[in-house]
Amino acid sequence: MEFLMQPWPWYVAGPIIALVMFLLLFFGKNFGMSSNLRTMCTIAGGGKVSDFFRFDWRGQRWNLTFVVGAVIGGVIAAKFLTPDPTIDLNPETVKALKGLGIQDPGAQYLPPELFGSEAVFSLKGLLILLGGGFMVGFGARYAGGCTSGHAISGLSDLQVPSLIAVIGFFAGGLFMSWVLLPLILQA
Amino acid sequence: MSKAEIISWFRIQEMFRFESFHMYGIIGSAVILGVLIVQIIRRSQLSSTEGRPIIFSPKKKSITRYLAGGTIFGLGWALSGVCPGPMFVLVGHGYFSILLVIAGALLGTLAYGMLRSRLPH
- What is the distance between the alpha carbons of residues A148 and B16, in angstroms, rounded to a whole number? 18
Average predicted confidence (pLDDT) for chain B:
92
End-to-end C-alpha distance for chain B, whole angstroms? 32
Stretches in chain A below the pLDDT threshold 70: 1
From A58-67, A147-156, B3-12, B16-25, the region with the lowest mean pLDDT: B3-12
- Is the CB of B67 less than 8 angstroms away from the CB of A147? no
Whether pLDDT at B55 is above 80: no
- What is the distance between the alpha carbons of residues A6 and A22, in angstroms, rounded to a whole number? 25
Count of CB pairs separated by less than 8 Å, A with B: 424
Beta-carbon count within 10 A of A163 CB: 16
Under a CB-based contact definition with an 8 Å cutoff, are residues B23 and B81 in contact?
A: no
What is the CA angle A82-A83-A85, rounded to 5?
Answer: 65
Q: Which residues pair with B53 in a beta bridge?
A: B47
Across the range B29-43, mean pLDDT stands at 94
For chain B, say whether A138 makes contact (Cβ under 8 Å): yes
* Alpha-carbon B89 to chain mean position: 14
A37, A71, A87: residue with CB nearest B109: A37
DSSP secondary structure string, chain B? -TTTTTT-HHHHHHHHTT--SHHHHHHHHHHHHHHHHHHHHHHHTPBPTTSSB---PPPPP-SHHHHHHHHHHHHHHHHH---TTHHHHHHHTT-TTHHHHHHHHHHHHHHHHHHGGGS--
Which 36-65 residues of chain B touch chain A by CB within 8 A? Answer: 37-38, 41, 46, 48-50, 52, 54, 56, 58-63, 65
Confidence bin at B1 (pLDDT 50/70/90): low
Which 73-112 residues of chain B touch chain A by CB within 8 A? Answer: 73-85, 87-95, 97-98, 100-112
Residue type, position A10, single letter: W
Across the range B92-116, mean pLDDT stands at 96
Across the range B81-104, mean pLDDT stands at 95
Tell me the shortest Cα–Cα distance from A21 to chain B, in angstroms.
8
B1, B13, B70: residue with CB nearest A97: B13
B23, B27, B66: residue with CB nearest A168: B66
Beta-carbon count within 10 A of A119 CB: 18
- Is the CB of A133 less than 8 angstroms away from the CB of B35? no
